[in-house]
Amino acid sequence: MLAAVFPGVYAQEAQTVPRTIFVGDRAVLIVPVTGFPGQGDTELSPEQIPYSPDIDIHRVAIERRPGGSRLAVEFAAFAPGVLELPPIEIAGEVFAGLTVEISSVLGPSEPPILAPPALPLAVPGTALLVYGTITGLVLALLVVSMVSLKGQLWLRGLLVTWKRRRMLGAMLGAERRLRKALAKGVAPREVLDALSGEFRGFLSGFTGENCLAMTAPEIAGLGFPGISDSPHSGSQDGEFLGRFFNRCDGIRFSGKSIGGNETLEIIDDLRGFLFALKSTLNRPPVPAGEPEPEQTEMVNAA
């Protein structure tokens, strides 16, 4: 609705965006006008915007567009019904009698009845807190059950197997380095000395016994928890280790020249033993205190 007085200015029918305005909504009153040549917008400063008790005017501007100029008044009303804007003076013209219709959020019933209250909103992050708490409780129950008698034994065996896999990986890396060193021309005796030291250190960590100062028969009698019937040893793993160190130490301390092929055969025997042991470690761990499904299974430390 528009009733306006513009000296020397012609105005068409005004419209609002959006068309239906409720109390508190922010909207724009657009009035197409003529008689404002030039380019760019002419906008009132905040101090120049007139005051109204029921309407909060945020912006007043003459907007020049290719299709014609228009007066744009951005506002928010705080009372229902038909409200009249205060006179607006801009670009040398006074716009008076501009009115807007404000709808009420209340229904048409007499007396007005407010809509039912909305459900209370949850505090942001509540769902995450609730589901996270439930998940934490479930995990805590699982941990408690695992830490029971069988759970402790299973975790202990799993930890021992993990440590042995790390040691086995390090020993396989040492075997590869010594093989490369032999190929690059390092003296076979030096390679065998390093091989014996690395392997004895590995066996010490693997069995928990000090194998560094043991003789070959002593190492063979450890009952090494590894593999049986290795295709590379042809007998039990303890017997294989005894023969391995007998041969290795016999060559090292014989005082004779050591050939590269003989050294390479010893490295190959070690490699075969390590890969057979790796295959054993890749089997599922057996809880300590329970019988092993096969005689060749890896025994987890107590």
Greater pLDDT, 86 or 5: 86
**What average pLDDT does range 229-245 have in this prediction?**
64
Is pLDDT above 60 for 230?
A: no
Tens digits of per-residue pLDDT, 12-23?
A: 578 999 999 999
Alpha carbon distance, N-terminus to C-terminus of the chain: 92
Of 77, 94, 75, nearest to 30 by C-alpha is 75
Q: CB of 11 within 8 A of CB of 4?
A: yes
Question: Which of 5-19, 206-220, 245-259 is predicted with the least confidence, judged by mean pLDDT?
Answer: 5-19
C-alpha distances out from residue 155 to 77, 146, 208, 226, 279, Å: 70, 8, 19, 20, 20
Q: How far apart are CA 182 and CA 265, in angstroms?
A: 12
Is pLDDT above 80 for 229?
A: no
The pTM score is 0.42
Q: Residue 188 — pLDDT band, cuts 50, 70, 90?
A: confident
- For the chain, helix (H) and strand (E) counts, in that order, are 6, 9
Question: Which of 59-68, 84-93, 118-127, 287-296 is predicted with the least confidence, judged by mean pLDDT?
Answer: 287-296
What number of other Cβ atoms are within 10 A of residue 168's Cβ? 19
